[in-house]
Amino acid sequence: MTRLSTPLVVACIILGLPINGFVLPFQRSQHALQDSKSHNQPLIFSPSTGEVLETRPLHGRFLEITDIHPDPNYKPFTDPDSCCHYGNNEDYEFSPEDTGHYGFPVSKCDAPPSLVNATFEWIQKHYLDNIDFIVWTGDNVRHDRDRLLPRTEPEIFSSNEELVSTFRNVFGTGNPYFPYRIPIIPNIGNNDVYPHNLVVEGPTLQSREFYRIYNGMVPEEQAHIFNKGMYFMKEVIPNQLVVISLNTLYWFDTNPVVDGCNIKTDPGSHQFRWLRVVLKELRARGMKAWLSGHVPPTKDNWEPTCRDRYIAWTHEYRDVIIGGLYGHMNIDHFVVHDIVEAYKQKKEEGVAATHDESFVEPSLLSHAEASEDFDQDDHIKTCKPKHYIDPSDHDSFTAQGKADYFEEIRLGYEKAAKNHNNDTRYSLSLVHPSVIPTYFPGVRVYEYNIEGLDEAVRRPQVYANGLPVRPWSDIFDELNEYLDLIKQLDNSELDELDIETHGLEMPEVLHITKKKGKDKKKKKKKKLIIDPTWPPEFGDIEPGPAYKYQLFTPTKYIQFIANISRVNLKGEKFYYEVEYDTNKAPYHMVDLTVKNWIYLAGNLSSSVVQKKKKKGLWDKYLFYAFESSGYEEIMTWIWVDS
C-alpha cells in the first residue's frame, strides 16, 4: 500500500465507513438525492482531508471496447500487402473506398492513429458523462505481420501506454488518487504479450510493467496477485457490482506454456483457485459480477479442460455471474455454453487419471509444441487483404474457416433452442466487434437495470450471519499467500493438500498449506481426486440477473459501427452510427436475459431451415457479424459452393 491509504483509513474511521469502501462513488442520475450523507449516500472522499470531492451519478450504461490495434506506421493509399506500410502497389486496382485516412476496411491492415483518435473523440462527445464504467478487452498494439518491421516488447508496452493516455485524455481527472472519472477495466490480449500468445506465470518484468501501465485501473490491494497472473477484479459499483478481468491467455490453447486445467500446477488451474475464492466472497456479500477477457471461451480457442471448468463456474454461480464479455475474434456473435456437456467432460476426466506416476512433466512437451505453433501461425505471415481472396482458389481458407465456424455456432443454437424451457442449463459469452478495421470498426454500449439500487446501497454490508464484511485487502492478502505456497507444490502434493483442505475455509486452508510446503514427504497415492478448480455443485441456487429480470439485468445494447468506406470515399466526417439495437428490429429482445438469447438462437437457426430465397434472420445476423462490411457474401458464396 502507498501513502494514500493512511489518511483515507482515518477519514473512513471518522466518517464511520467501511475501510475497504475506498471509492464510494454514486447516486442515481435522474433524482439526485440532496441529503446524501444522512442516506449514507456514497461519495468520493479526498484522501487527505476526508472532504467530499464529488458524487458520481449512475446511468445504467457501460461501454465495451476491444482490439484497437493502433499502428503508427499505417499510411493511406499504400499497399495492403505491405500491411499498409509502404508502396502504392501500381499493379493494384484500388477502389477509392478501400484505403484512406481512417484505415482499410476488410483488410489485414491495423488501425491508423487517426481512427483511434476519432473513436475516442466520438466516445468523448457522446458518452463522457453517461456511462458507469468501461470494459476494455485488450490487443492494444499492431499485429506482428510486417517482416521488415518486427514488433518488439518495448513497442508493446509503449503502445499500451499510449492507449492508456488516450483513455486519460477523455476520462482522466488529473487527480492522482482518482485518476479516472469512472472505472476502466483493462485485459491482456494475446498480442499484448511477447512473443505473442505466450505468457508464463508471474511475477515477471512483463506483469510488473503492465501493473505500472494500468496504474489507477487495477486496484492496489491486488497488485501482488496481478503481478502473478495479470488477473484482477474491480468494484465498478462499490459493494454491489464487479467486473472480473480474467487472464484468458492461461486458458488459451495457442499459449505454448499452457497444458490444461486438469493439471494442478498449470497457471490456468491457479487462476481457477483464485476465481473460486472471489466468487464465493461475492456471493456471501450478495454482489453480482460480469466476467471479461480477451479470448472468448469457444471450442477452437480454449483448452477444453479449462473451458469446461469455466462453464461449470458460470453455472454454479448463476446467482452472481451476469455474463462474459470478450474480444479477439473481431466478429460480432454470441456463444451459448451448455452445463450438461461440461459435466460430461468432468466425468470423463475423473476416469482419465492425469496424476499417476507415468505423468510427463508438461514443460518438456510444451517447448517442442511451442516452435511448431509459431511456424503455423498465420498472424506473422502476410498482410494480404481478405477481400481479394478468390474463393475458387485454395487460398480461401480464411473464409472457409469462418463458414465452418458459423455452422458450428448455428448448430449450437439449434440444440439450445430445443431446451429453451430450461434456461439455467445455459450461460452466455458475448463476443464483440473490434475497432481494428478487419471489417468495419465497432464499439458497443450496454444498458442495465439500476432500479432498486438506492435501497441496495443503503443496506449495511454484512454477511448472511450478520457479521460485517471483511476488507477486500485482507481477502486478497490471504489469497496471495495461498497462491505463493501452492505454486511451490507438485501435482501429487496438491492432490494431498486438496483432500486435507476439502470443505475448509481459507484461513484454515492457508494454515494447512503452510505446513504442506515444509513437509515434503511423499504420502501414498490416494484414488479420490478432489479438484478445487471445479466448482462445488449448488443444486438449489436462485438464478440471478442473467436469468431473472432484477437489479443489474442487462436490458439491451446498441452496436455502433463506423463505415470507413463511406468516409474514405466521400471524404465525409468520421462518425459511429447505430448498426442495430437489440430492443428493436430485427431482434426485438425485451431484455438480455439468457432466456431471450435462447429464443433468439432458436429463431436464428430455424430461419436458415425455413428460408428459401427470402432473406432470413440468419442472413441479417451474419451481416452484423461482420459489422455490415459485406464480408459474409464471400463467406456464404464459399459455403454454398463447397
Tell which positions 51-110 bind ligand NAG, by CB under 6 A: 97
Site string for ligand NAG, 409-448 (x = CB under 6 A): -------------x--x-----------------------
Q: Which is nearer to ligand NAG, 489 or 617 (CB)?
A: 617
Please choose, out of 117-125, 194-202, 291-299, 502-510, the segment that lies near ligand NAG by the rule CB under 6 A.
Answer: 117-125
Tell which positions 154-213 bind ligand NAG, by CB under 6 A: 166, 169-170
3-state secondary structure 570-636: HCCCCCCEEEEECCCCCCCCCCCCHHHHHHHHHHHHHHHHHCCCCCCHHHHHHHHHCCCCCHHHHHH
Q: Give the one residue of 255, 563, 593, 605 binding ligand NAG; rule: CB under 6 A.
A: 563
Q: How many CA atoms lie within 13 A of 191 on its CB side?
A: 27
Q: Which is nearer to ligand NAG, 194 or 439 (CB)?
A: 439
Shortest Cβ 339–ligand NAG spacing (Å) = 5
Shortest Cβ 337–ligand NAG spacing (Å) = 11
List strand residue ranges (DSSP E) for 480-594, in order.
554-561, 577-581
Q: Which letter, b or e, does each residue of 156-182 get, where b requires 16 or more Cβ atoms within 10 Å of its Cβ?
A: bbebbebbbebbeebbbbeeebbbbbb
Nearest to 288 by CA among 242, 234, 232: 242
- Do 43 and 113 contact (CB within 8 A), yes or no? no
Q: Give the one residue of 292, 628, 631, 632 binding ligand NAG; rule: CB under 6 A.
A: 628
User: Which amino acid makes up residue 589?
Assistant: M
Q: Give the one residue of 78, 565, 582, 593 binding ligand NAG; rule: CB under 6 A.
A: 565
- Do 440 and 567 contact (CB within 8 A), yes or no? no
What number of chain residues touch ligand NAG (CB under 6 A)? 21
Classify 170 as helix, strand or coil.
helix
Site string for ligand NAG, 333-362 (x = CB under 6 A): ------xx----------------------
State the virtual CA torsion across 343, 346, 351, 354 in degrees, nearest 10: 170
Binding of residue 602 to ligand NAG (CB under 6 A) = yes
Q: Which is nearer to ligand NAG, 517 or 602 (CB)?
A: 602
365-370's contacts with Cβ under 8 Å and 24+ in sequence apart are 365/259, 366/256, 366/257, 366/258, 366/259, 367/256, 369/256, 370/198, 370/256, 370/257
Q: Give the one residue of 45, 603, 622, 635 binding ligand NAG; rule: CB under 6 A.
A: 603
Q: Give the one residue of 208, 556, 566, 620 binding ligand NAG; rule: CB under 6 A.
A: 566
Binding of residue 377 to ligand NAG (CB under 6 A) = no
Please choose, out of 4-12, 328-336, 347-355, 558-566, the segment that lies near ligand NAG by the rule CB under 6 A.
Answer: 558-566
Q: Which is nearer to ligand NAG, 424 or 449 (CB)?
A: 424
Binding of residue 248 to ligand NAG (CB under 6 A) = no
- Do 11 and 47 contact (CB within 8 A), yes or no? yes
Instruction: Give me the residue label for grid cell 500468445.
Output: 197
Interface residues toward ligand NAG, by CB under 6 A: 97, 117, 120-121, 124, 166, 169-170, 339-340, 422, 425, 563, 565-566, 569, 588, 599, 602-603, 628
